[in-house]
Structure 1
Amino acid sequence: MEEKIFMARVAEQAERFDDMVEFLKPILREKGGDFSVEERNLLSVGFKNLIGGKRTAIRTISAIEQNPKYQKFGAALGEYKKKIEGELQQDCQNIINMIKNDAMKTQQEAEGRAFFLKMVGDYFRYMAESATGDKLAQARDGALQHYKEAEAAGRELQACNPIKLGLALNFSVFYYEVMQDNKQACTLAETALQEAMNKIDDVDEETFRDAKSIIELLKENLTLWKEEEGGDNQIEDL
């Protein structure tokens, strides 16, 4: 177990995120949800970076498609983007399956349960970013369900708890980008921000540091959402 965690860290430093996830898979199976904060963070980094390049690639190709100069290559661009979208959908589904079948197979304390439910919501949201038709509906519904379950699981967590704040950040991004519900996105973000600001002076230094970075992202998103309805701004999430 110790060697696998060490090798996952090595793979992270080497930016070999496919390998990082492979090193983490047996830990998921063996530990069955009993993770330290450090191990949860390793999983989060590995999964996020595994699909990060594909999300960026899809955005890049979409931007090129909008350029009139390249309309004659539209069919080739569309096929290439569709290929990457298929890879992203498969990666996200594999991650969701690993979390639900391995990481969540035992009963966890509130923080761990909220963490993994939020993560499932995130990967359904990433699927929804490039899905259409029935696949979009399924991804949207999956994200909404698991974000709500994460909210319920983390209800008793302190307002400045980084997992609770990160959930509010990503859930509000989901409402803005996927549900296209600007009002609900702002309401969710503002509520979390206000509750955290009311308690920020009462937390220890480590919690303050982690909470402060998420609070800044919430503020940035709220500024964008209130200034513009829609637009192509880069929305921040975790």
Structure 2
Amino acid sequence: MSVDEQIFMARVAEQSERFRDMVDFLKPVIKEKGANLSSDERNLLSVAFKNLVSQQRTAIRTIAAIEQNQKYAKFAGSMAAYKHKIEDELYRNCDEIIALIRADVVTKASDDESKAFFLKMIGDYCRYIAESAKDERLAKTKTDALTAYAEASTIAERSLNACNSIRLGLALNFSVFHYEVMQDVKKACELGDKALSDALDKLDDCDEETFRDAQSIIELLRENLGLWKDEERDQ
């Protein structure tokens, strides 16, 4: 199939909620185009990857919540085994996504926006692994996520407008990583505060589309910061 046909079939798979197929249709596109994907194609890739792992992430959180209920303690062994199976599935999918981006995209990225976008993506999928990983796997994944997020942040702050949705989304996700994975509320707040302050300073200079995209991420930053600062004060 041609690249155009692969992209079309990926959209068909999206409408059919067949996200593994969607990823498989996009793999040849990634190999062919590398980092030269259009903004729409990058977004399509994000949808494919995120939906591929979202079901597993939700399932893991659900089982973890059930495990906390003492009523079901007698089923602890079976629940742990089932959760472990789903975790392995999540790790395989995330590892596949990270390897694909590293091999076929990041090394070929020629502009800073693409580099920041895909490095952020590596950080995100390392974060998804770190949500439930343990021991050596957790330690390595934390390091990999920090490296990817930090490199993406350096590029974004150097080259992208403070209201750029990639730069703002990166700051949002990096702050969530510090809060949820590193359990560093102070660092999460620092990152969120800086991104929010920088964006608000430039908001009046944005065109309508940038303003609209920025607003939704700004609201998420505000919500997170409100919760995190309350928690920090209570400690």
What TM bracket, shorter-length normalisation?
over 0.9
Once the two structures are TM-superposed, the CA of residue 229 in structure 1 deviates from its matched residue by 4.6
Count the aligned residue pairs.
Answer: 231
The counterpart of 1:39, out of the listed 25, 41, 52, is 41
- Output the amino acid matched with 1:38: D
Counterpart contact for 2:22–2:48, Cα < 8 Å: yes
Unaligned 5+ runs, structure 1: 232-238
**Equivalent of 1:93 in 89, 92, 95:** 95
Deviation at 1:103, TM superposition (A): 1.6
1:72 corresponds to: 74
The Cα shift of 1:230 comes to 11
Is the Cα contact below 8 Å between 2:113 and 2:166 reproduced in 1? yes
TM-score by length of 1: 0.95
Cα offset, 1:33, TM superposition: 1.2
Does residue 179 of structure 2 align to residue 180 of structure 1?
no
Q: Identity rate of aligned residues, in percent?
A: 60
Q: Which residue of 1 aligns with 2:20?
A: 18
- In structure 1, the partner of 2:211 is 208
Paired position in structure 2 for 1:228: 231
Whole-Å separation in 2 of the counterparts to 1:193 and 1:45: 25
Q: Of 63, 69, 74, which aligns to 1:61?
A: 63
Runs (4+) of structure 1 exceeding 2 A deviation are: 228-231
Q: Give the letter aligned to residue 204 of structure 1.
A: D
What residue in structure 1 maps to residue 137 of structure 2? 135
Following TM superposition, by how much is the alpha carbon of 1:107 offset from its aligned partner in structure 2, in angstroms?
3.5
SS at match of 1:105: helix
CA spacing shift, 1:230–1:166, aligned 2, 3 Å? farther
Q: Secondary structure at the match of 1:154?
A: helix
Q: Deviations over 1:123-162 (max 9, x none)?
A: 1111100100000001100000000010112122100000
Task: Identify which of 29, 32, 36 aligns with 1:30.
Answer: 32
Q: 1:195 aligns with which of 189, 198, 203?
A: 198
Counterpart CA distance in 2 for 1:175 and 1:35 is 30
Indicate yes or no: 2:88 matched with 1:83.
Answer: no
Q: TM-score, normalised by structure 2?
A: 0.96
Distance 2:91 2:36 in 1: 27
Q: Is the 8 A contact 2:186 2:232 kept in 1?
A: no
Match for 2:74: what amino acid?
K
Aligned counterparts of 2:229 and 2:151: Cα–Cα separation in 1: 28
Shift of 1:13: 1.3
Deviation at 1:53, TM superposition (A): 0.2
Aligned pairs for 1:117-128 within 5 A: 117-128=119-130
CA RMSD of aligned residues (A): 1.3
Structure with greater helix percent: 2
What's the counterpart of residue 235 of structure 1? none
Aligned-partner residue type, residue 192 of structure 2: A
Unaligned runs of 5+ in 2: none
